[in-house]
Structure 1
Amino acid sequence: MDFELSEDQRAIEQMADSLFSDHCHDDYLRQWDSTGDALMVPLWALCQETGLHALAIPDSAGGSGLGMTELMLVLQAQGRSLAQVPLWRHQLAAATLANFALGDAAGLAAEAARGERLLSLALDSLGTAHGIALLATPCVEGWQVDGQVAALPLGGQAHAALVPVRVDDQIRLLLLELDAPAVRRSCGVLTHGEAIADLQVEGLRVSADRVLPAAALSWLEPRAIAALAALQLGVSAEHIRRTVAYVGEREQFGRPIGSFQAVQMSMADSHIALETLRSTLWQLCYRLDTGLPAPSEALATAYLACEAGHRIGHVAQHVHGGIGVDLTYPIHRYLYWSRALGIALGGAAACLERLGDWLSDNDKLGWKYDLEEHQAL
C-alpha cells in the first residue's frame, strides 16, 4: 500500500501550515483573546484568497472539488495553530447543499464558494442525551419549524446553517436562514474562544426544499467526524510537541523531568494514542474519498479522537504541573480545544455505545473489513 501524499496534497499541506503558523503565533493568540472577535477575520480573508475555504466544495458549485484527504491536511494545520476560522463547517455545509439541495437552496453552495455567504452547521444534537429539539411539521408552504438549536457555531455571524430536525420519525437536515424573523439568537462564546449562538425558532415556515433528503445526513455525518478528528489530531500533535519541549528543559532534583521513567512512559502512551488516531482517520478519509461505506470507521475514529484528546490533555497538564493552569502560559489553550472537540464529537462513551450497536447489527469482522466472518477464515 502506498501511503505517500501526492505533490498537490503536499503543496496544500505546506501552504496551510505556513499560513496558519505565520499568523497564529502565541503573541497573536494572546492578543486575539482580548479582542472579543467572533473569528479571526484577517486570517479568514487569507483562507478565501488562497482557496482553502472551498477545497471540499464540488467544482460544479465553484469549489476546488477535492476530497476529505486534502481537507484533513488543512485542518491538521489549523488545529496545530488553534486558528479560529470556520473552514470545515463552511465548506462541508456548502458541499452538502451542492450534492443534495434543490432549487435556490443549491445556489447557496456557489455563493459560499465565492465567499459571499458564510455557512455553518451543527450535528452535536445527534449525540446528546437531550436529543434533537427542532421539529418540522407539514404545512401549506412546505414545513413549519419550531424548537431550539443549542450552541450553533458562528450562529450570530453565519447567514445560514444546516441543523438536524425531526420530521415524522426521521432525522433530516434543515437549511435554516438565520436572519429570518422567526429565529431568535442568543450569542455567546465557548471556553476555547469559538463564537456560538442558541437559537429559538417559533412558527418558521419554509419551502419543501429546505429539508434535505435523508441521504444528506448519512453523507455529511462521517465527513463532519473526520473534520473534527483532523482538528483533534493537529491540536494533540502540537500539545505533545510543546510538552516534550517543556519536560526536556524543566529540571527537578538536578535533572530534566523528561529523564524520569514515569514521565517518559506517560509521553509514550500519549504518542501511541496520537498515532492510533492518525491511522484510523486516514483510513476513514480514504474510504470517504473512494465512495466506500464508512459508518463504523467514522464511529471508531470519533471514539479514538475523544480518547486521544482526553489522554494527551491529561498527561500534558500533569507533567506541566502548576504552570499548566497559568493562563499567561499557552499550554491551556490546547486543553480547551481538545475538550471542545471531544464534546462536539459526542464524547467517548456515546461514540463507543453507537459503535457497539453497529457491531451488534452487523455480522462482519469488526469495523476494518467489509467481509463476512466466514469469508475471512
Structure 2
Amino acid sequence: MRDVISGYAGRQLSLHALGLVVILSGVLVVAPLLPSIIETFDITPATAGFSISVLWGTNALVQYPGGRYADHLPSTVVLLLSQTLLVVGFLSLAISTTFPQFVLGLALVGAGYGMFEPAGMVLLGDLFDEQRGRAFGIRDAAVNFGSTLSAALAAAALTYNTWRAAFVPVALLLCVVLFSLHRVTRDSYTVSTVDLDLRNTAVRLFETPQSGALVAVTAMTLFAWQGTASFLPTFLHLEKGFSELAATLGFAGLFLVGTVTTPVAGALGDRWSHLRVAAVTTGFSVLGLATLVVAGRRLLVIFGLFVFAVGLTTFWPVIYVHLVGQLSGDTVGGDLGALRTAYFAIGSLGPSYVGLVAAKFDYSLAFGSLLVCFLCTGVTVLWLAEG
C-alpha cells in the first residue's frame, strides 16, 4: 500500500481521495435530509425524486465534455474548475429559501461533480499503471467513506441547526482542497478550445456488441443504485420501522462497508478477472436487496443491508478498471466521459422512478422491482467475462 500512496503520484491520489470524501459527504447528505427537505418545501416523494434526478442528470451532461477536456488540457485545470462549481453549488443549497433555488443548487453540484469524476480518472490513469486496481480501489474507498460521513453530517445539522447548515462545512473544506491541489500540482495552467468530436467518440464506443453491453450494464446498475440509495433512509424509516436516527445510521452503514470492501475488490480484480469479480458482486446485490425487501425482523433487515452494501459498493472499482483498460490511452478521458454520460443519464432516472412508484404504491415494491436490473447486470457481466 505504501508504494501506492508515496511520491508525487501518491500525493495526488491522497488529495483526490480527500476531495472525493468532502464532495460525497455533501452530495449524499441529501438522502438522509430528504424527509426534512420534503417538509420544508411541502413537496411529494415524486417531486423530491425529481430534484435528485436533476442532480444526477446535470452530472451526466458534463461527464463527456469534462473527460474530453481532461484529455487535451492538464487534468488539474478541469479539477480546479469542477471544485469551483461545487463550492458555488453547495453555498447555493445552504442559502436556498425556495424549492427552485434548491434545485438550482443541486444542478450546480451535479455539474461540478460530473466534471470532477472523469478528470480524476484521467489523472489516476496517467499516474498509475500496474497498480491501477489498487489506486481505483482507494478512490472508491474514499467515495464510500465520504458517503458514510454524509449521515453524520446530516445528524449534526438536524440536531444543532437546520438541514441547510449541512452544506456550509462542505463548501469551506472544498476551498481547502482546491488550494492544496493548486500547491501540489506540477501541471501548468494552459487553456484552449477543444473539439468534442462526438461522432467519432460514439463510433468507438458502440462499434461492438460488447461495448454496448458495458453501457447497458453500468446504466442498469446505476439506475438501481441511485434509486435505492436516494430513498434508503426513508425506506428504512417508513417500511421497516427504524427510527430516523437508526435509518440514517443504516444509510451510513451501507457506505462504511464499502470503505473496507472496495480496496479488496480492486486487489482481487488485479489478481483475477475484473469482470468475474463484478459478476460475484452483482450476486451479493441481488441477495442483499431481496432480503432487505422481504425481511420483517430487524436482524434480517440489517443482514440484508450488509450483503447489499457489499455488492453495491464493490461493483464499481472493478468495472471502472475494466472500462479504462478497454479505452485508448489518448482518448480515455473523453471516451470514459461519454460512457458515463450515457449511463448516468439513465441512472439519474432511478430516484424519479422510486419516488413515483412509492407515491402510487410503496417503497417495498419500488425497491423490489429494481432486482430486475441487478439480475440482468449479472447475466450480462458473466457473458462478457466468458466472451
Compute the TM-score of the two structures, normalised by the length of structure 2: 0.35
Which one has the largest radius of gyration? 1
Compute the TM-score of the two structures, normalised by the length of structure 1: 0.36
Higher helix share: 2
- Report which structure shows greater RCO (CA 8 Å, sep ≥6): 2
Higher strand share: 1
